[in-house]
Amino acid sequence: MLTVKENATIVGVAEIRKVMKEVLEEMKTNRVILTKRGKPVGVLIDYQQFRQMEELIELMEDIVLGQEAAERAKRKDRKWITLVEAERKLGLR
């Protein structure tokens, strides 16, 4: 194991079995970068950190989708069709 930044540690895939206990402990405070033949192949992070990242991504997606919907609603050239009309156009009816 090699610490490269204050919050990142590098571990070779071949080495991980030998140091799994240390890796699990390290994950509590740092991200662990897995390497294979010296190239990064994955990252291990604490589960709580993972959940926070997922929630942040979902929040950002909601904000972007909300902005897109607001922009579409402002357009004056919009045309609406019913679900039945859309199905007919797509050949589903």
Q: What is the DSSP secondary-structure string of the chain? A: -EEEETTEEEEEGGGTTTTHHHHHHHTTTSEEEEEETTEEEEEE--HHHHHHHHHHHHHHHHHHHHHHHHHHHH-SS-----HHHHHHHTT--
Q: What is the pLDDT of residue 1?
A: 60
Q: CA 41, CA 88: separation in Å to the nearest integer?
A: 47
Q: What is the mean pLDDT of residues 38-50?
A: 90
* CA nearest neighbour of 38 among 12, 67, 59: 12
pLDDT digits (tens, 9 = 90+) for 67-78: 998 888 787 777
The model carries a pTM of 0.59
